[in-house]
Amino acid sequence: METPTSASYWVHRLGRRLYNRKSQLLDCCRSRHYDTIQEKHHHHHAYHRVPSPQAQDLLRAKTNEHGQLQCRGCDEITYLLRWAEAERRKDPNHKCTSPKRIIHNSYIELDMCARMSNCDACQVVRRALLLDQITGRDAERLRDMDKQWPVQVALDIRPGGDSLLVTIEKPSGILLFFATVVLSQKPCLAVGKKTKGPSPASMLRPNFEELRRVVANCHDNHQCSSRYRWNSRNPSWLLEILDDGKVRVIPGPSHLVDYVVLSYSWGDPTAMPAEEWARIKGAATKTINGVPVAERTTPFSRSQLPETMQDAIAITQELEYKYIWIDSVCIPKGTDWDTEASLMHEVYGNAAFTLLASSSTKATEPMLHDRLAWLQEPKPCKLRNHFLYNTQKPLHEVRLDPPASQRAWTLQEERLSPRILYWTGQRWYWSCPEYQAVESSPLDLPSPVCVAEEQSWSPPQRFLHVCRIGDFQSIDQEWLDIVEAYTRRDLAHSADRFLAISGLAVRFLEAKLDGGGKTHVSEEYLAGLWREDLARHLSWSVASAVDPKGSHQEVAPSWSWASLPLCVNTKMRHAFKQSPHFQFVGVRQPSSDYTLITPSAPVNREVVTNPRLRSKLAEQHGRTVKQIEVRGRFRRFISENSRDVPWEEIEWQRGDRVGFNFEKYPGQDLHSRNYDDGRIVSKDAHGGEIVGQLDYVFSTGRCFGEKKSKSVALADGEETELMCLELGEMAMLLLRRNPGPEETWRRVGVCIGYEQRKGFFYGCESRTVVLA
């Protein structure tokens, strides 16, 4: 079969014969995706085969002075380029963003222009919108009839280079899609010159040849394995990939083998039919007397597994690996789940690489999708002395966008992996400690924000790197970053709150061990916090007070971030200097005859010398900590004679500036509370104010008929009972005494950075308190 040269050829001729020369494995696996791409594409646009007269006018392409096909809609881009030239004549360093111009009335119209009129600029814009979509479902959303609004472009002028900002938004201003097209006066290829890169046939399927070279280069020339591999143990169970579409579960061999780990999202069980969730759960390997059933240890068809797993197996085999680890399949039911969860640093640290399924939103969706961005062959496009280029989406955006990044379990799967293959709907990304690569076309340019912004984003392997080199200060900062990312994520089972981060906790502890674990270790895991920097860790705050419904105080104590509901934005990092008066006393067992475990308590020698046992027990013990004794300066937060005033009477706003105005209440002690976001203010008569942030909002209606003391939120009127414990030079905990004969205190909020009252704790005595 001859290699076609025209873009329209691929729209009409793309079918099964295109893939007959590909490997039998991928043909079998992807038949549901690629074999019907032409049929699905034309069926979707069947009602647009006869465009309206207005659309026909917009789709009418002509040849411009550069020999490029240009439609009427692209005249708007030319207009913006002329506008930019005029602005630059006035000021060469001028920077601004132009008003938006409509180039097509909908994405479907843009798609038709790119395919039928072969408009070069529209092909670049269409490809930009598709490449910006991470999942296969996102790309399909572009053709959703409910999302067909005008395609607009604006020209962003900057001294470093111009770019087209492509948007699709509703009339109300709600942004649906966004993409960037880079403009350059320097071509990477001459206009009209054919590219020597991949043909559309190969771009429509993943470029495994390029990927194999990238993986082999990392294996042969990098030090990732010698530096970051944890040990020589395999997971307890692996999935062996056999011929003829078969797989089987086997015990991990005694010698380390190259295996791939799948990181993916199971999906939201509340957003899918019960039978679909049952199918995902049914992929788990069952056991009899702790041994996987024969149906799994003997060869079985991979088609029995959900689509994400099937495609992950196909990708793994295409990259010439024989083994893959998938959580629900390789942690059989009945296995000690706590033990397996605490060994995730080994599973991911020893893997050849982690395959992160960024292209699927749930386990029943495929990873391999129609790569519609490559329906036309990429070629140089020039308008008014400017070349239009597609960009490579920055890796940090790829990491944050897909549904997998909203799942709590995937955080440690990513941070514990030395090598990661991010699989998106239109291309793949590779990341290891020494190199990052993107599946590319010959006309790709790096995103203009990559160079400027990438430095502010920690690479995925930074946590492993600082642990390896023993940079303790950076390790502490990395943990704060991990917690901020973790609290924003969701969990199917709230009981896994600590389990889903246990592998990271073990890795953190191992990095802190003195002399490889041969001497006493002073670090201690305390319900998600760490003892050596406990004051800083206690000073976490919520971005805004949250609903107490869903609080996990049955799982974690009030002073731990783990007690918060799921999917909460927290702030862990801020300028902090520990108060010299703060001291950790010890862990307390909650009972009348309590046992205080002090920091100097001896450690069993077997635990210290056996790394696997030590790590497991230390992490498991840390999860169970409920009460700790600390010592620091202690006082009332609000004076006894303070007056409660409405928030709206003291808050001062001028545009973006927000402050407080107390002129209505001269010479008075007062306090106030914002019931919407949980801010609370305390002010002495002749002193400055202190602004605190409560953890939870309180609703009288929600707690009607419930005793105030049972609610984790601070009830109306309880503000005057608040006490505060100094943590840092300008950081304090807000505490409320728990009911009962024992004097214990629960956390209700925090104050950070009270510049107006630096001497708030001056002259106060230190006191030992029990936090619960």
* DSSP class of 133: -
Within this chain, do residues 681 and 711 fall inside the same structural domain, yes or no? yes
Within this chain, do residues 113 and 221 fall inside the same structural domain, yes or no? no
Residues 736, 742: Cα–Cα separation, whole Å = 13
**The two structure tokens encoding residue 25:** 């494995």
**The two structure tokens encoding residue 420:** 């990661």
CB atoms within 10 A of CB 633: 21
Continuous segment of H or E residues that includes residue 617: helix 611-624
Task: Judge contact between 357 and 364, C-beta under 8 A.
Answer: no
55: Cβ contacts below 8 Å, ≥ 6 apart: 105, 109, 112
Within this chain, do residues 474 and 452 fall inside the same structural domain, yes or no? no
- Identify the pLDDT of residue 597: 52
Closest alpha carbon to 561 in 509, 464, 485: 485
Within this chain, do residues 171 and 52 fall inside the same structural domain, yes or no? yes
When pLDDT is averaged across residues 662-670 and rounded to a whole number, the result is 90
First to last CA, the chain: 73
Amino acid (1-letter code) at residue 314: A
Within this chain, do residues 359 and 437 fall inside the same structural domain, yes or no? yes
The CA distances from residue 288 to 293, 331, 423, in Å, are 6, 14, 35
- Identify the pLDDT of residue 699: 59
When pLDDT is averaged across residues 724-753 and rounded to a whole number, the result is 94
Residues 643, 684: Cα–Cα separation, whole Å = 10
pLDDT tens digits, 723-737 = 999 999 999 999 999
- Identify the pLDDT of residue 472: 85
Give a yes or no: residue 123 inside a domain. Answer: yes
Q: Is the pLDDT of residue 678 over 90?
A: yes
Give a yes or no: residue 556 inside a domain. Answer: yes
Give a yes or no: residue 679 inside a domain. Answer: yes
pLDDT tens digits, 38-65 = 333 333 333 344 455 555 666 677 888 8
Amino acid (1-letter code) at residue 129: L
pLDDT tens digits, 439-481 = 876 666 655 444 433 444 568 899 999 988 888 888 999 999 9
* DSSP class of 61: -
When pLDDT is averaged across residues 161-171 and rounded to a whole number, the result is 93
Q: Is the pLDDT of residue 9 over 60?
A: no
Domain boundary among 134, 151, 184: 184
When pLDDT is averaged across residues 371-379 and rounded to a whole number, the result is 85
Residues 352, 229: Cα–Cα separation, whole Å = 9
Residues 586, 598: Cα–Cα separation, whole Å = 4
- Identify the pLDDT of residue 194: 43
Q: How many structural domains are present in the chain?
A: 3
**pLDDT bracket for residue 669 (50, 70, 90):** very high
pLDDT tens digits, 89-131 = 888 888 899 999 999 999 999 999 998 888 999 999 999 999 9
Question: Pairing relation of β-strands 670-673 and 643-644?
Answer: parallel
- Identify the pLDDT of residue 439: 87
Domain boundary among 151, 169, 184: 184
Give a yes or no: residue 465 inside a domain. Answer: no
When pLDDT is averaged across residues 135-162 and rounded to a whole number, the result is 91
437 or 190, greater pLDDT: 437
Helix, strand or coil, per DSSP, at residue 410: helix
5: Cβ contacts below 8 Å, ≥ 6 apart: 377
Question: Pairing relation of β-strands 259-263 and 323-325?
Answer: parallel
- Identify the pLDDT of residue 22: 35
Give a yes or no: residue 308 inside a domain. Answer: yes
- Identify the pLDDT of residue 519: 41
Give a yes or no: residue 408 inside a domain. Answer: yes
For every residue of 732-759, DSSP letters joined together read EEEEEEPSSSS--EEEEEEEE--GGGTT
pLDDT tens digits, 473-531 = 889 999 999 999 999 999 888 888 999 999 999 889 888 875 444 444 578 999 999 99
Within this chain, do residues 476 and 429 fall inside the same structural domain, yes or no? no
- Identify the pLDDT of residue 260: 97
- Identify the pLDDT of residue 15: 36
Give a yes or no: residue 478 inside a domain. Answer: yes
Q: Is the pLDDT of residue 29 over 50?
A: no
235 or 590, greater pLDDT: 235
Q: Is the pLDDT of residue 535 over 90?
A: yes
Rounded-to-5 percentages of helix, strand, coil across the chain: 35, 20, 40
The CA distances from residue 709 to 540, 626, 736, 738, 739, in Å, are 23, 18, 10, 7, 7
Residue 64 lies in domain: 45-184
Only one residue has tokens 């807000």, namely: 734
- Identify the pLDDT of residue 458: 66
When pLDDT is averaged across residues 618-640 and rounded to a whole number, the result is 93
Q: Is the pTM of the predicted complex or chain greater than 0.95?
A: no
Give a yes or no: residue 442 inside a domain. Answer: yes
Half-sphere exposure of 185 (CA within 13 A, CB side): 7
Within this chain, do residues 518 and 417 fall inside the same structural domain, yes or no? no
Residues 536, 578: Cα–Cα separation, whole Å = 7
- Identify the pLDDT of residue 450: 41
Within this chain, do residues 354 and 474 fall inside the same structural domain, yes or no? no
Rg of the chain over Cα atoms, rounded to whole angstroms, equals: 30
Q: Is the pLDDT of residue 21 over 60?
A: no
Within this chain, do residues 451 and 543 fall inside the same structural domain, yes or no? no
pLDDT tens digits, 279-321 = 999 999 999 988 899 999 999 999 999 999 999 999 999 999 9
* 3-state SS, one letter per residue, for 453-512: HHHHCCCCCHHHHHHHHCCHHHHHHHHHHHHHHHHCCECCCHHHCCHHHHHHHHHHHHHH
Within this chain, do residues 519 and 558 fall inside the same structural domain, yes or no? yes
Within this chain, do residues 602 and 728 fall inside the same structural domain, yes or no? yes
Amino acid (1-letter code) at residue 26: L
- Identify the pLDDT of residue 56: 61
- Identify the pLDDT of residue 705: 37
Within this chain, do residues 441 and 521 fall inside the same structural domain, yes or no? no
The CA distances from residue 622 to 98, 494, 598, in Å, are 56, 17, 14
Burial class (CB in 10 A: 0-12, 13-18, 19+), 432: buried
Domain boundary among 184, 217, 242: 184
- Identify the pLDDT of residue 59: 67
pLDDT tens digits, 174-226 = 999 999 999 988 775 544 344 445 555 556 788 899 999 999 999 999 988 88
CA-CA-CA-CA dihedral for 297, 298, 303, 307, to nearest 10: 20
When pLDDT is averaged across residues 547-557 and rounded to a whole number, the result is 91
Mean pLDDT is lowest, of 43-47, 253-257, 424-428, 590-594, for 43-47
Mean pLDDT is lowest, of 325-339, 531-545, 546-560, for 325-339
Helix, strand or coil, per DSSP, at residue 568: coil
Helical spans, DSSP H, in 156-306: 200-203, 208-221, 224-228, 274-281, 294-297
- Identify the pLDDT of residue 53: 59
